Amino acid sequence: MTSHQVKPSKQLLYSCLWMKMERRVLWVLQTLLVLLPSVVSAPCPRPCFCPQPAELHCTFRSLLTIPAAVPKHVKRINLGFNSIDKIGNTSLSRLGKLELLMVHGNNIHSLPDGAFRDLLSLQMLKISYNKLKEINRYTLQGLWSLARLHLDHNQLELIHPDAFQGLTSLRFLQLEGNQLQQLHPATFSTFTFMGQFYISTLRHLYLSDNVLTSLPSQLVETMPQLENLYLHENPWTCDCSISWFHDWEETSPGVLKCKKDRALPGGQLCPMCSSPRHMKTIKLHAAQRLVCSSPVINSLHRTTSPEDSESETLTSADFRGPIGNISLGLSDEHGNELDLQCSVDKLKELTKISWEQVNKLQLVANITFSVDIRCSVDREKYEQLWKVIAYYSNGPAHLERGVILSKDPYPAYVYKQDSVQDAQYYTGLKVKMLAQPAWLLQTSVELQLNRPQSSTRMVNLILRTNLSETVDTELQQRLRRSWVMIESANRTRKVMVVVLGSPNEMLCNLHSSGQPVVQWMLPDGSKLNSPYSSPENRVSVSRDGRLKMKEVTHTDAGIYYCIANVHEDLAVLSFYLTIQESSRPPPMEDISITSMEEFAGNPISLECSASGSPDAEIHWILPSSRIVNLQATSSKTLVYFNDQICSNACYHCRAAQRTHYEQRQHIFSSRVPKHR
Ligand SMILES: *[C@@H]1O[C@H](CO)[C@@H](O)[C@H](O)[C@H]1NC(C)=O
Ligand SMILES: *[C@@H]1O[C@H](CO)[C@@H](O)[C@H](O)[C@H]1NC(C)=O
Ligand SMILES: *[C@@H]1O[C@H](CO)[C@@H](O)[C@H](O)[C@H]1NC(C)=O
Ligand SMILES: *[C@@H]1O[C@H](CO)[C@@H](O)[C@H](O)[C@H]1NC(C)=O
Ligand SMILES: *[C@@H]1O[C@H](CO)[C@@H](O)[C@H](O)[C@H]1NC(C)=O
C-alpha cells in the first residue's frame, strides 16, 4: 500500500528532475549543435534504458505514466509491464519518427481520441493485456503507416465500424481474448471503394477467445488478401445465419486456422459449434448442415423431421431500397425494339475483389459485381422483351460501350453486342443505357435475363461488370462513414411468450455513428416510424426504439422487425411474439399432451426439451398464467410444488425460436395418498 503511495511522488520527482535536466541539456545541446551538428543525441529519460540512441526500454519499472520528454527522434519504445493506466492526449505528441510502440501489460482502460495522431511512422503498436473496452473512430486516427496492431487480451466489447477506415497499411490485427459479441460487416474495412464497397487490407486476423456467436459473410468476403483467420474459442451458433461459411471455406481453402497445441487432443484447437445442442462438439468448418429449422419438442413417437425455416425471415437486404435507376433501349438485328424503365437494387454479390498498393498514397482496387435490375412491364412489352432477350437467360449477352449519347443530367451510352465473345448467340443486340449512378456504365458489361425471378409484370435482369478505381489513401483518412448496429446479445429478448391481454415490450438497442431513424415492421406488414403512438396509445414506439403494447391480442402474434437507418447504412433485427390464452389451451392441431399422476402436495418434476436450429427457448406457462422463461442453455426440467392440483392442462411448455413454436400440455390427475 505504501509503495503505491510512494510511486507517484517518485515518478513526479523523476519527471521534474528530468524536465530540469532537459532544459539544461537542451541549452548545452543547442550550444553544441552549433559546433557539432551531427553527433548529438538526447539523453535517455530515467528510469529507462536506451541500448541505442533511437531506442527506449522501460519494462518492469512500475511506471504510472508514459515518461515525459521522450526524445523526439526515438524510433522504438517498449513500456511493457508497468502500471500505466492512462495515455494522455499529448503523451505521444511529436514522436513522428516512432516506428514501434509497446505498452502491453499495463492498466490502460481508455485511450483519448487522437492519442496517436502524431505517430505517422508507427508500424507496430502493441497494447495487449490492458483494460480497453472500446475502439472508436478517433482512437487510431493518425496511424496511417500502421501494419501490425495487437489489441489482444483487453476487454473490448465494441469496435466502431469506422475505427480502421484509412488505415490502409494495416495487415495484422490481433484481437484474441476480448469480449466481442457482435461485429458490423464493415468493421475491418480500411478503405471505401466508389463510396459503396468496404474493403479490408488485412491479411491476418485473430478473433479467437471472444464471445462471438455469428459473423456476417461480408466481413471476410471483403478481405481479398486474408491469409490467416483464427476463430477458435467462441460460442458459435451453427445455424443458417452462418450458412455462407461453407462456401467461403471452399473458395478460400486453408485461410481458417486452428490453434496448434500439442497438449490438446488432436494437437489443435479449432472453432467449434456451441449451439444448437445437437451440433455441440462439431467443428464449425466440418458442420455439414448450417440450417435453421423449427423447434420440435422431443417426445416418444415422432415421425416428422424438423423443416427448414431459413427463408422465413427477412434480412437487411430485403429492406434496402434501390440504389439507382437505369433506362434501357433495346433493339436487335431482327428489328425487335423495346424501352424499359428500371430500378437498380443494392449490390447482390461481389464476385471478385482485388487490390494492390501502388505507392504510399495510392491503392488500385478492382471488383467484379452484379446488380439486380427490375423493370415493370405490361403484356405487350413482355412479349417484345421475350423476343429480344430470351436467348440471354442461360448465359449473358456481352456488351461493349460505344458512343456517348448525352451527358446531362446523367450519362447515356450505346452498347453493342460483342460479336466475337457471343459468336454462338449473336443477335446484334444494341442497348441505349442511361443510368444513375453513372459508374454502372463501364466499358464492358454483361446483361442477363433472370428468368426464374421474372413475371409478366416485373422483369428481372442482371447487370454484371468490372470496376477499377485508384484510391487516394489521404482522402480515405478523412472519410467519415456512417453506420448502425442493433445489439443482438444473448441477453437480448427476441422470442417472447405473452399472455393474452398482458403488456409487452420489445427493445431495439442501437449503436450508431449518428442519429439513427428507427422503424418497426409489424406482423401485418405495416410500418411504424419512431416516435409513434396509436390512438389510445395501445401501441407506441419511443425515440430510442422501444416498441410497447398495452394489451396484446391474437392479431399481435408474429414476426416483428426493427429497422434502423443511418444515411446509407441499415440494420435489421427480427423478434417473434407468441400469445398464450389465459384459460383455454390454444386451438392447435398438433398439440401434444403428456398425462401423469402425482400425490397432492408432492413436488412434481416436469420435463420439456426441444430440438431445433437455433436452439429453442423453453417457456413454462404455469397455472397462475405466470410465464417462466428458461434460456436455451439451461436445464429443461422444472420442479414445481404441486400445491394447486388442477385436473386439466395447467402446465404448458412452449418451445419457441425465430419464427416458430411448438407447445405441449402436461395434464395432471391427483392421487389420494394411501397412507394418511
Ligand atoms: C486534450 O484533452 C483536453 C482535455 O482532456 C482537451 O481540452 C484538449 O483539446 C485535447 N487536445 C487535443 C489536441 O486533442
Ligand atoms: C429513380 O427515379 C425516380 C423517379 O424518376 C426517383 O424518384 C428516384 O429518386 C430515383 N432513385 C434513385 C435512387 O435515384
Ligand atoms: C486491375 O485491373 C487492371 C486492368 O483492368 C489490371 O491491369 C490490374 O492488374 C488489376 N489490378 C489488380 C490489383 O487486380
Ligand atoms: C470482368 O473481368 C473478368 C476477368 O477478371 C472477365 O473474365 C470478364 O469478362 C469481365 N467482365 C466484364 C463485364 O467485362
Ligand atoms: C451470455 O454471455 C455471457 C458472456 O458474454 C455469459 O457470461 C452468460 O452466461 C451468457 N448468458 C446466457 C444466459 O447464456
Q: What digits encode the pLDDT tens for the residues 210-266?
A: 999 999 998 998 899 999 999 999 999 999 889 899 889 988 999 999 999 888 888
pTM: 0.86
The CATH number given to whatever domain includes residue 291 is 2.60.40.10
Instruction: Say yes or no: 98 and 196 in one domain.
Output: yes
567 with 586, same domain: the answer is no
- Reported confidence tier of residue 5, pLDDT bands at 50, 70, 90: very low
Q: Is the CB of residue 434 less than 8 Å from the CB of residue 412? A: yes
Banded pLDDT at 670 (limits 50, 70, 90)? low
pLDDT attached to residue 397: 93
Closest by CA position to 61, among listed 2, 106, 1, 109: 106
pLDDT of residue 582: 64
Verify that 408 and 489 share a domain, yes or no: no
Residue labelled with grid coordinates 420442479? 639
Q: What is the pLDDT of residue 585?
A: 52
Residues 409 and 505 grouped into a single domain? no
pLDDT tier at 84 (50, 70, 90 boundaries)?
very high
* CA–centroid distance for 223 within its chain: 14
| Whether the CB of 482 sits within 6 Å of ligand 1 | no
Residues 6+ apart with CB under 8 A from 90: none
| CB neighbour list of residue 442: distance below 8 Å, 6 or more residues apart | 401, 465, 466, 467
- 536 and 468 inside one domain: no
Same-domain check for residues 280 and 343:
no
Q: Has residue 313 been placed in a domain? A: no
Q: How many domains does the chain have?
A: 4
Q: Which of 487, 491, 630 to mutate to test the pocket of ligand 5 (most atoms within 8 A of CB)?
A: 491
Which protein residue's CA is at the shortest distance from atom 8 of ligand 1? 89
Would 127 be classed as within a structural domain?
Answer: yes
**Atom 3 of ligand 2, residue of closest alpha carbon:** 325
Mark whether 631 and 562 lie in a shared domain: no
Specify the pLDDT at position 112. 94
The C-alpha angle 196, 437, 482, rounded to 5 degrees, equals 30
Task: Select from 428, 461, 478 the last residue of a domain.
Answer: 478
Which residues have any ligand 2 atom within 6 Å of their CB? 322-325, 436
Burial of 429 (0-12, 13-18, 19+ CB in 10 A): buried
Say whether pLDDT at 200 is over 90: yes
**Domain final position from 458, 478, 498:** 478
Do 462 and 599 reside in the same domain of the chain? no
Tell whether 211 is covered by a domain. yes
Tell me which of 446, 478, 510 is where a domain ends. Answer: 478
Question: Which pLDDT value is given to residue 577?
Answer: 93
Query: Does a structural domain hold residue 340?
Result: yes
pLDDT in tens, 167-177: 999 999 999 99
Query: What are the tens digits of pLDDT across the range 293-337?
Result: 888 887 655 545 556 665 678 888 888 888 899 999 999 999 999
> Could you list the residue range(s) of the whole structural domain that residue 587 is in?
263-307+581-676
Dist. CA 492–CA 497, nearest whole Å: 14
In this prediction, residue 640 has a pLDDT band, given cuts at 50, 70 and 90, of: low
User: How far is ligand 1, taken at its centre, from the CA of residue 164, in Å?
Assistant: 22
* Domain containing residue 252: CATH number: 3.80.10.10
Residue 411 is assigned to a structural domain of this protein: yes
Closest CA to 425 of 401, 399, 443: 399
The whole-number average pLDDT for the span 576-581 is 88
Examine residue 153 and state whether it is found in any structural domain, yes or no: yes
The Å distance, Cα 157 to ligand 1 centre, comes to 25
Which residue has a Cα nearest atom 13 of ligand 1?
Answer: 89
Specify if 343 maps to a domain: yes
For residue 371 the three cell numbers come to 446488380
Task: Mention every residue, 6+ apart, whose C-beta is less than 8 A from residue 267.
Answer: 260, 261
What does the alpha-carbon distance between residue 593 and residue 398 come to, in Å, rounded to a whole number?
A: 62
In whole angstroms, what is the distance from residue 314 CA to residue 650 CA? Answer: 35
Average pLDDT score, the chain: 84
Q: Are residues 258 and 268 in the same domain?
A: no
Expressed in angstroms and rounded, the spacing between residue 225 Cα and the centre of ligand 3 is: 15
Cα of 327 from ligand 2 centre, angstroms: 11
Residues 6+ apart with CB under 8 A from 303: none
Hey, which of 168, 468, 470, 471 would you mutate to test ligand 3's pocket, going by the most ligand atoms within 8 Å of its Cβ? 468
Task: Tell whether 74 and 210 lie within a shared domain.
Answer: yes
Residue 34 has pLDDT above 80, yes or no: no
Q: Whose CA is nearest to atom 11 of ligand 5?
A: 490
441 plus 539 within the same structural domain: no
Give the span between the Cα atoms of 241 and 657, in whole angstroms: 14
302 and 373 co-located in one domain: no
Asked if residue 312 belongs to a domain, the reply is no
- For 146, the grid coordinates are 500502421
What is each CA distance from 558 to 525, 655, 656, 662, in whole angstroms?
A: 10, 15, 12, 14
Give the range among 113-122, 190-199, 306-315 with minimum mean pLDDT. 306-315
Residue with cell string 389510445: 536
Which ligand 1 atom sits nearest the alpha carbon of residue 93?
A: 13
DSSP class of residue 272 equals: B
